[in-house]
Amino acid sequence: MLLKPEQLNHKSTEELKQELLQLVQDQDLQPLKQKVQFYEDQLAPIVTELSRRNPYPQAEDQLPIILGVWKPIWSSIPFQDILPGRSPEQSYQIFHDDGFYANIARYAPGSKLKLSWLQKLASILLAFDLMIVQKYAVKDGQWLIENIAIKQALRWQGIPLSVAKADHWFTKIVSQKTTTANEPEIENLNRSTAKRIKTAFRATPEFEHLYIDRDFRIVKTRREAKQRASYTIVVRREEKG
C-alpha cells in the first residue's frame, strides 16, 4: 500500500529504508519503462522524505563514507541492462581511496533457467564480465565523475564472480592504466551494442547522493545534462567472498 506524505513523516529513517528495500525486491530486472513508472508511482515519495533526512548532505562529507564495496539493489539506469542476462547477485560498485571506482557486472544468459539440467548446461557456458572504471572527486560541493576505461572478460559461468575476484580485477586494471581516458576497445559484442557502450563512455556523468549513510545510498545520476535522471538504491556489501 502506498503511504501518504503525512504517514512517511511519522516513520523512522530505518523504517523508510526497509520500506524501499521491500518495494524493490525482485524488481531490478523489470523493463526500463516499467522501472521509470514504478519509481514515480511508488519510490519517489519515500526517496523525497529520505533526502530531507540525509545525514551527510555535503558532498565533501560523503567521501570517507563511500569507500568500499556496494551492491546495487535496484536501478533505473538504461545502460545497466545493455546486455541480456545480468546477474544482480554478481553486480558490484567498488570505491577505492585512490580516486577510482568501478561498476562491475556479470552477464550470464541462461543463468536463471529453472530446470536443473538447463542450469547445469548454462554453468559450462561463458559469462561476459563488464567493468566501467571511473575517476571520482569532489569540488565546490559537487561530485566530479570521469569515465576512464571499459574492460570486459569472458569467464566460465560456473565460477562465480565474487567480491574478492571483482576487486582484484579492478585493482589490476587501475594499476595498468594511465589516469586519462582512452577510447575503449569493445570485443565480443555486436556492432550496435558496442556503439552504445562507446557513446555512454564519452559522456560526462552527473552524480548526486539524495541520501547516504554508512550502509545505504540513494544515487541520482545522468549520463549527460539533457538526459532523464536515473536512480539507484545501493547497500553496503561485505568485502569477503
Reported as a single tens digit per residue, the pLDDT across 172-212 is: 999 986 655 566 666 666 677 667 666 666 667 899 999 99
- Has residue 176 been placed in a domain? yes
pLDDT of the residue at 178: 60
How many CB atoms neighbour CB 25 within 10 A?
A: 10
Q: Which three cell numbers stand for residue 223?
A: 549520463
Query: Cα separation of 104 and 66, whole Å?
Result: 16
pLDDT at 213: 98
Can you give the pTM of this predicted structure? 0.85
Could you tell me if residue 189 is inside a domain? yes
Q: Is residue 241 part of a domain?
A: no
CA separation for the pair 71, 74 (Å, rounded): 9
Could you read off the pLDDT of 60-76 as tens digits, one per residue? Answer: 999 999 999 999 999 99
Closest CA to 86 of 31, 49, 38, 39: 31
Q: How far apart are CA 157 and CA 34, in angstroms?
A: 29
Contact 8, 45 (CB under 8 A): yes
**Quick one: residue 33, left, alpha or beta (phi over 0 = left, psi -120 to 50 = alpha)?**
alpha
Residue 26 belongs to some domain of the structure: yes
- Convert the pLDDT of each residue in 136-169 to its tens digit: 999 999 999 999 988 999 998 889 999 999 999 9
Give the number of domains in the chain: 1
> Residue 157: what pLDDT?
87
**Dihedral sign, CA of 69, 74, 79, 81?**
positive
Beta strands of the chain (E only): which ranges? 68-75, 86-95, 100-107, 126-139, 142-156, 206-212, 216-222, 230-236
Write down the pLDDT at residue 187: 64
Q: What is the dihedral of CA 121, 123, 186, 79, to 10 degrees?
A: 100
Identify which has the larger pLDDT, 183 or 234. 234
Give the pLDDT of residue 113. Answer: 46
Domain around 89: 5-236
**Closest listed residue to residue 63, CA positions, set 175, 138, 157:** 138
What is the rounded average pLDDT of the residues 114-129? 61
Q: Which of 221, 181, 61 is nearest to 234 (CA)?
A: 221
For position 79, what pLDDT does the model report? Answer: 76
**How do residues 21-40 score in pLDDT, each as one tens digit?**
999 999 988 999 999 999 99
